[in-house]
Structure 1
Amino acid sequence: MKKITLSKSIIVWSLLISALVVVASLYGLLDPSIYSKETLNWATQAKGQDIGNLLAVPILLVCGYMYYKGSFKAALLWLGTLLYLIYAYVVYAMAVHFNMLFLVYVAILGLSSYAVLLTIKDIRSREGVYPKASAKKFAAYTIMSIGVLFGLLWLSEIIPALIAGNVPKGVVEAGLWVNPIHVIDLSVVLPGFIITGYYALKNKPNGPFFLAPWLTFSVLMGLSIVAAMILMTVDGVNAIPPMVMVAAVVVMSSIALTIYIRRIT
């Protein structure tokens, strides 16, 4: 495997993004005014996301450093963490009422997006040898299953509402016009999961490459959802059944990612 040679900009990206994420997340968790205009449901989801974002910071820093030192495996995990942050801060920037952190949200979104755009070519040019047979198939079927599962989950909420001429219950509870999570998931993320898994099974180049980043994304996003559901449970909402389902997704994604990433050479 070729060694990745990058300037110190990779460290700068990681440090800047991490610092801003810590600021935004801690303010969101500790300052009641940040989500004071949101419904209880949406504010709780935002706080769960804040917890997930804090969990992403050490991964971004450690993997960024290892990527800078030449680890292709770390580069894939770093990329997946950035994809997670892009997703998270699209939602913050577009669906949280204007507050003192607005420009921080925008800065994180911009920095994370350009970090991906400016490094992905280098990462692709340094690809290692991906695992074959069982490890790849397990990772591919896992990410495809998650894509199908959440796709059906969202459609089961959206389609009946469309037929009845109503607004989906989740959108009403969040106090939104449209849920950006539905938009991003159904248009980009979930199709990306399914296409990546399919391409990996067919040995097309983009499939094996994106398996690890998307699985990393799945783990981090799942952890943030579990955190939100724990907060809902504390507030008296019965969120245990969906929390168990999402926790299972996190476990399966973690197992698939660990097996897959360890067998890349």
Structure 2
Amino acid sequence: MSSEPRAPAGIVGAPWWLWLSVPIALLGIPGSVTGILVDRIYANETADWQTQAIGQDIANLVVLPVLLVLAVVAARGSVRALLAWAGTVVYAAYTYVIYAFAVHFGPLFLLYVAVLGLAVWALIGFFATIDIARVPTSPPGRLNRIVSAFLIVLAAGFALLWLSQDLPAIPDGAPPKELRDAGLLTNPVHVLDLALLLPATMLTGILLHRGHAWGQVLAPIVLSAMAGISLGIVSLMMVAIARGEEASLVVVSVLGLLGIVQAITCWRLLKSIHFAV
């Protein structure tokens, strides 16, 4: 018999917020296919931002079907699938904030807004119904300590990387090269990471290290979200290489390896879970 922890659910009795996975996928997947195939969608973007948008579209075609499959498994009562699902929804919310605010108004604008709204409401429903009292607290084991250190290092490393681009440009008031190439007012990735994702990652690492129940819930969610985001970065860099634009295969390899480590770490952590939420 499987040791998989299960919540008392089924496909028919799945909560409303889990059902939002269906429109997220049914809107997001065709939208990404359209972005890849129809030149008009990103016609007003700079060449650099077109490349990044198309690369993100390709990553969506991997992550959004996974989101839908995880939703089905979670609806059958799998807590592990549920936590991984929440991470893919975080990925969707993160990604569609960028589409909605940093892509010129066009035919897919309302689609971006819809997917963003659906993802945010799904996360609100998920977190509002977590019974944290059902998650056991205990001194962190070896795996939790390793994952905790990994999360803290990730958060600190990317924060320093983004700040190394932003801080030198602030005294002169001139945007960094990356921002000029994208043709944007500000970098939405830096905004989301420095304001939300990286602090959440750091806090999750600290909570996990202390054996807090929220650390055990949030860690696989953060890791699965970051694995999806890493896939997006690798995808857009591969598109840049294919289009003859500036991109480093070394950086692609490093980020690809990082994404694999994030996914494997998430899987190992999920396997260790023996609680219901």
Asked if these proteins are the same fold (TM beyond 0.5), I'd say yes
1:260 aligns with 2:269: yes
Q: 1:183, 1:10 → 2: CA distance?
A: 27
1:241 aligns with 2:256: no
Q: 1:23, 1:228 → 2: CA distance?
A: 18
1:192 aligns with 2:196: no
Instruction: Tell me the residue number matched to 2:179.
Output: 171
> Which of 166, 188, 192 lines up with 1:180 in the alignment?
188
1:50 aligns with 2:57: yes
1:59 aligns with 2:66: yes
Instruction: Tell me the residue number matched to 2:94.
Output: 87
Q: After TM superposition, list the pairs within 5 Å mapping 1:119-130 onto structure 2.
A: 119-124=126-131
Cα contact 1:223–1:247 (8 A) shared by 2 = yes
Q: 1:126, 1:89 → 2: CA distance?
A: 32
1:250 aligns with 2:250: no
Q: 1:257, 1:205 → 2: CA distance?
A: 16
Q: 1:40, 1:121 → 2: CA distance?
A: 41
> SS at the partner of 1:34?
helix
**What amino acid does structure 2 have at the position aligned with 1:137?**
R
> SS at the partner of 1:27?
helix
Stretches of structure 1 that go unaligned for 5 or more consecutive residues are: none
Cα contact 1:72–1:123 (8 A) shared by 2 = no
**Number of aligned positions between the proteins:** 265
Deviations 1:145-194 (A, max 9, x none): 21111111100100111133321111101000111111111000011111
Shift of 1:71: 0.8
Cα contact 1:72–1:126 (8 A) shared by 2 = no
**What amino acid does structure 2 have at the position aligned with 1:212?**
P
> SS at the partner of 1:163?
coil
**What amino acid does structure 1 have at the position aligned with 2:173?**
G
> SS at the partner of 2:203?
helix
**What amino acid does structure 1 have at the position aligned with 2:261?**
M
**What amino acid does structure 1 have at the position aligned with 2:226?**
S
Cα contact 2:20–2:118 (8 A) shared by 1 = yes
> SS at the partner of 1:115?
helix
Of stretches 104-113 and 11-20 in structure 1, the one that deviates more from structure 2 is 11-20
1:209 aligns with 2:217: yes
Q: 1:124, 1:91 → 2: CA distance?
A: 31
Q: 2:133, 2:227 → 1: CA distance?
A: 24
**What amino acid does structure 1 have at the position aligned with 2:7?**
K
The normalised TM-score by structure 2 is 0.90
Instruction: Tell me the residue number matched to 1:78.
Output: 85
1:150 aligns with 2:154: no
Instruction: Tell me the residue number matched to 2:40.
Output: 33
Cα contact 2:137–2:212 (8 A) shared by 1 = no
Instruction: Tell me the residue number matched to 1:225.
Output: 233
Deviations 1:171-226 (A, max 9, x none): 10100011111111100001111111011101222211100000001110000100
Q: Percent identity?
A: 32
Instruction: Tell me the residue number matched to 1:13.
Output: 20
> Which of 134, 138, 141 lines up with 2:142 in the alignment?
134
Structure 1 or 2: more helix by fraction: 1
Q: 2:190, 2:18 → 1: CA distance?
A: 33
RMSD between aligned residues? 1.8
Cα contact 2:18–2:122 (8 A) shared by 1 = no
Q: 1:8, 1:151 → 2: CA distance?
A: 36
Cα contact 1:157–1:168 (8 A) shared by 2 = yes
Shift of 1:4: 3.7
